[in-house]
Structure 1
Amino acid sequence: MNSVSISKSRQDALRVELPHIADLLHRRRASEIAEADIEDLVTLSWLEWLGGSLQLTTTGDNVCRQQRSS
Structure 2
Amino acid sequence: MPAQALTRQRLHALRAALPETVDLLHRRRAAQIPPDHVDDYVALDWLKWDGGTLRLTITGANIHRQMLDLVDA
Q: Normalising by structure 2, what TM-score?
A: 0.93
Q: Any unmatched runs of 5+ in structure 2?
A: none
Q: In the TM superposition, what is the alpha-carbon distance from 1:2 to its structure 2 partner?
A: 1.2
CA RMSD of aligned residues (A): 0.6
Q: Secondary structure at the match of 2:48?
A: strand
CA distance in 2, matches of 1:51, 1:28: 15
Amino acid at match of 1:23: D
Q: Matched residue of 1:45: which SS?
A: coil
Q: Find the counterpart in structure 2 of residue 7 from structure 1.
A: 7
SS at 1:38 equivalent: helix
Q: Could you tell me which residue of structure 1 aligns to residue 30 of structure 2?
A: 30
Q: TM-score by structure 1 length?
A: 0.96
Paired position in structure 1 for 2:62: 62
Higher Cα Rg, which structure: 2
- Kindly report structure 1 stretches of 4+ aligned residues shifted beyond 3 Å: none
Structure 1: state its 5+ residue gaps: none
